[in-house]
Structure formats: structure tokens, C-alpha cells
A and B are shown apart, each in its own frame.
Chain A
Amino acid sequence: MSNRGNGRREGDGDQGDLITPEILSWIGRSDPPRRLEVTRRDIMKYAIATEQRLEKYRRGDEAPPMFLYDAHQSLTPIEALRPDGLWVDTLLPELPLTRVMAGGIRHKYYRPITAGDRLVVTRTLTDIYEKHGTSGPLIFVVYALKVEREDGEQRVLVMEETRRRIFR
């Protein structure tokens, strides 16, 4: 875990001081739950785009493991997108570094996602820390996502995600 006082992590070596207490105060905040309806057509589009070869994915019967990537994003009007084309994430403090790189993901799967599923995604900002890379400082922002399927009045856990975004 990061040292909440200055955004540093043990054992990370050379680091800066880009992360302020105001930035750290965002840790623990959550988005409002977002509802998604999974369609066969969306699964099929994703399967084609990612060159899936298993029929269950190509037919749209079941969603591939990475299908929900970025599915929690708010659908932003074109005029409101960032200059780099990305959507404006309201669960992100203003950072001194703004260029975004993919970081990585960890998933735990509990049930397959299939066409017709009505999902609820909740997201929490769980950590912010700084490292010094070969080309300069980097800020890592970590999110935890929980994906549940609405089953009548019940919700059943489908998937959990830990996701790192990197700012340079």
C-alpha cells in the first residue's frame, strides 16, 4: 500500500513529490453504479475486433473475458472529450501529469457474461502513487470495479477487476 502522507511506496527507489494531500483525498471515492445491458451484437463486434476464434464468442453467446473493458465509462458528447480524445473521468483528481498509458488489469471471474445480461458496475478509486520511470515521473491510479448481474430483485457477483491507469 502507498504511504498516504506523500504518495510514495516502499521500495520504489527514486521518486518525486507530485502527489498532494488533495489528490490523495480522492482515495476511497466511488462512482454512482452504472447499468449496462449486454447485447449479442456488441459481443459479436468485440469478438471480431479482437480476432476471437471460439464459436461461443463469435456467435455472441458468451462474452470474452476482456469484453467489459472501459464499459463503465460515461458516454461523453464529442465536444466534451479531452483534447487527446479520451472521455473525462469524473472519478479522477486533477493530476500534474495528463498523458495516459494503459497499465494493466487483474480479474476474478465468478460467472460468464451472456447476451441479455443486465449488469451493474460500481467503481472505487483505491490508490494513487508515484514512481520514477526511465523517461520521468509516472502517477499510477488504481480502481476496483465490481460487476454484478441483476437477477430479479437480487444481484449476483459476476466479476471483479483491479485496474491501473498510468499518467506520464
Chain B
Amino acid sequence: MPRLSTHTLDVGTRLAERTFEPTAVSLFLYNAAIWNAHRIHYDKAYTTEVERYPGIVVDGPLQGDWLSQVVTEWLGDQGELVEFEYSNRRAAYLGERLCSGGVVTTVDQAAGTATVELYIKNAEGTVISPGRAVVRLRA
């Protein structure tokens, strides 16, 4: 991997995309890890009949985690995450294929920092969870 530096990093640089296809097992493990028993993530009858969602809901913070991974994998050991934010705009459901990615939008050479706009898109290409990260690259 080429060395990351704010002196050579260009605005518009695209970070590698990654596809996620959450399963009942992966959602179970995630909700176990964060100790979350919200029934919309495993109880289909409750989710569709009581909360009126069309299917089992993919956790919003799990999508947030996938957004953070776009940045941490890009950085490797060449920098650090300083700020990170995301917003869950539209729900995603079990069985959907989701795609994470990002693009560098600002580079501050003096501060050694860069800003990355992030996204989770659904199969239609709609951004359902946008995000933003500020990173500091090692000198």
C-alpha cells in the first residue's frame, strides 16, 4: 500500500468499497456483542406485525461500524481517526446487499488532517447512512 501523506493525498481520492450481506447469524452475533435484545432484529412476526417494518431490521449502529471500517482499513497504521459521525437516514432489512465506501473531500497539509465523506448504499444505489470522518495522518 502506498504511503499516505497529506502532501500527496488528493481531494477526490476514493476509498475502497466493500459489500456487506448481513445474515440472521451475523445480526445475532452483533446484537449479542452489544447486548441488544430489540426484537426488530430477530423476531419477524413482531417486526412486521407490531412495528410494521417490511422485514428484520439491520442495526443502524452496525452500519455505523461498517462506515468506520472504510476509514480504519484505509488508514491501516498510517494515521488515526480523530472524529467520526454518521446518520441512519433509511432502514435496511435482512437480505439486502449493502455497500460501504468513501471519498476524500478536504486535505489540510498544515494540520496533517483530511476529511472523508462516507456512505452506505443499498442495492438501488441510494445512500441510506451517510457519514463523515476526520483523520490525522502520521508525519
Residues of A within 8 A of B (CB): 42, 45-46, 48-54, 57, 64-66, 69-71, 73, 75, 81, 84-87, 99-109
B69 x A50 contact (CB < 8 A) = yes
CB distance from A76 to the nearest CB of B (A): 9
| 19 A-B pairs in the complex with CB atoms less than 8 angstroms apart | A53-B69, A64-B68, A65-B65, A65-B84, A66-B65, A70-B36, A75-B35, A84-B40, A84-B46, A85-B37, A100-B38, A104-B60, A104-B85, A104-B87, A104-B88, A105-B84, A108-B82, A108-B83, A109-B82
A69 partner residues in chain B, CB cutoff 8 A: 34, 61, 64-65
Give complex CA distance A52, B82 in Å. Answer: 19
Chain B, Cβ-Cβ closest to A48 = B29
A84 touches B84 (CB 8 A): no
B39 — which chain A residues lie within 8 A by C-beta?
84-85
Extra A-B contacts (13), CB below 8 Å, given A65-B68, A107-B85: A42-B33, A49-B32, A51-B26, A53-B73, A66-B65, A70-B35, A70-B36, A81-B37, A85-B37, A101-B88, A104-B60, A104-B87, A105-B86
Contact with A along B42-84 (1 / 0, CB 8 A): 0100100011000000011110111011001100100011111
A47 CB to closest chain B CB (Å) equals 9
Residues of B within 8 A of A85 (CB): 37-39, 43
Instruction: Flag if B87 contacts A103 (CB, 8 Å).
Output: yes
Complexed CA–CA distance, A51 and B32 (Å): 14
Contact among B72, B83, B87 with A54 in the assembled complex (CB-CB below 8 Å): B72
CB-based contact B68/A54 at 8 Å = no
Please, which residue of chain A has its CB at the minimum distance from the CB of B76? A54
Which residues of B lie under 8 Å from residue A99 when comparing CB positions? 51
Q: Which residues of B contact A64 (CB under 8 A)?
A: 65, 68-69, 72
B60 touches A50 (CB 8 A): no
Residue of A70, A102, A106 near B85 (CB, 8 A) is: A106
